[in-house]
Amino acid sequence: MLPFFFRHYDKFVNRYVFFDDKSDDRTIELINNHPRAELRPFPESHNDSFVVSAQSVHNSCWKESRVHADWTIITAVDEFLYHPDLINFLIKCKREEITAVPALGYQMLSEEFPCNNSNLINDVPHGAPSQAFSKLSLFDPNAITETNFQKGRHEADPEGKLKYPACDELLNLHFKYLSFDFVFERHKQLFNKLRSSDVKNRWGSHYKFNEEELRSDWNKTRKALKSCVVTKWDKSIRSHSPKNKRWWRLEKKSRFPFFWR
């Protein structure tokens, strides 16, 4: 995923910091060869849990970007933030004193794995609206004091000088379902990263899907696909979940407990 990732983010990211959990493929080589990327080891697990350890990293690593960065992005390598005019959108947000920009999530799907020189934004155009991937991935580190990400970053409860955009325009395109065989093998790898507390609490339980269970989820996603999410950007925003179901639009007192699987 890294070549696709860099191809997308290099247009507007000045510095990358990756936390690597003992990769044994070309990950380390690709990151070390990128002039703007820094590689760090993923920290030892908290409470024998990969999920809790990742949550701790998400809530702390960005703080060193204060003073140095106008905006910080916390993301996974298969999540692409998209706006048709992102730089000018962020300039507008800064002018309006917006400090946190949640993104509307889409689970993108392709029946075949894209070729190496693909631009995923153009070549994998169809996605299903996803509440779980509607995340706070982009924010002003100089205004936010705490992100308070929940497990998996599927929700946050940021503190500080907090102001969201009046309208949600940013998309989070999750390029995970890039051929069934790729996802099935990837799930096996990710399940092996889980620790005993993760398994006990059923965090990441979907990584244990057998072929039939994953195929059922795949077909469910395929049925919910919206065509050409990026080229029909306005329509994609309008067809997403209603405002009153987006966690950042809810009154704190009315939020339901969130459970990450």
The alpha-helical segments, DSSP class H, found in 140-210 are 180-193, 196-200
Query: Which amino acid is present at 72?
Result: T
Instruction: Give the E-state strand segments of the chain in sequence order.
Output: 16-20, 37-41, 72-73, 79-82, 100-102, 104-110, 127-130, 136-139, 144-146, 159-160, 171-178
Distances from the Cα of 145 to the Cαs of 19, 65, 73, 158, 164, in angstroms? Answer: 22, 12, 15, 7, 15
Does 219 fall in a domain?
yes
To the nearest 10°, report the CA torsion of 59, 64, 65, 66: 100
How many domains does the structure of the chain reveal? 1
* CA separation for the pair 9, 5 (Å, rounded): 6
List, edge to edge, every strand of the sheet that includes 136-139: 72-73, 136-139, 100-102
Does 9 fall in a domain?
yes
Check residue 154 and give its pLDDT.
96
Q: pTM of whole model > 0.85?
A: yes
- Asked whether 205 and 197 are in contact (CB, 8 A), the reply is no
Sign (positive or negative) of CA dihedral 256, 131, 236, 78: positive
Nearest Cα to 124, choosing from 241, 218, 226?
226
Residues in CB range of 201: below 8 A, 6 or more apart: 49, 51
* CA separation for the pair 258, 150 (Å, rounded): 8
Does 178 fall in a domain?
yes
Does 260 fall in a domain?
no
Query: Which amino acid is present at 7?
Result: R
Does 205 fall in a domain?
yes
Does 78 fall in a domain?
yes
Query: Which amino acid is present at 120?
Result: L
Does 18 fall in a domain?
yes
What would the pLDDT profile of 11-70 be if each residue is shown by its tens digit?
A: 999 999 999 988 989 999 999 999 999 999 998 777 799 999 999 999 999 999 999 999
Residue 255 has pLDDT above 50, yes or no: no
Check residue 13 and give its pLDDT.
97
- Asked whether 198 and 204 are in contact (CB, 8 A), the reply is yes
CB atoms under 10 Å from CB of 86, counted, come to 16
pLDDT band of 132, cuts 50, 70, 90: very high
What would the pLDDT profile of 229-242 be if each residue is shown by its tens digit?
A: 999 999 999 999 99
Does 17 fall in a domain?
yes
Domain around 26? 2-253
pLDDT band of 252, cuts 50, 70, 90: low
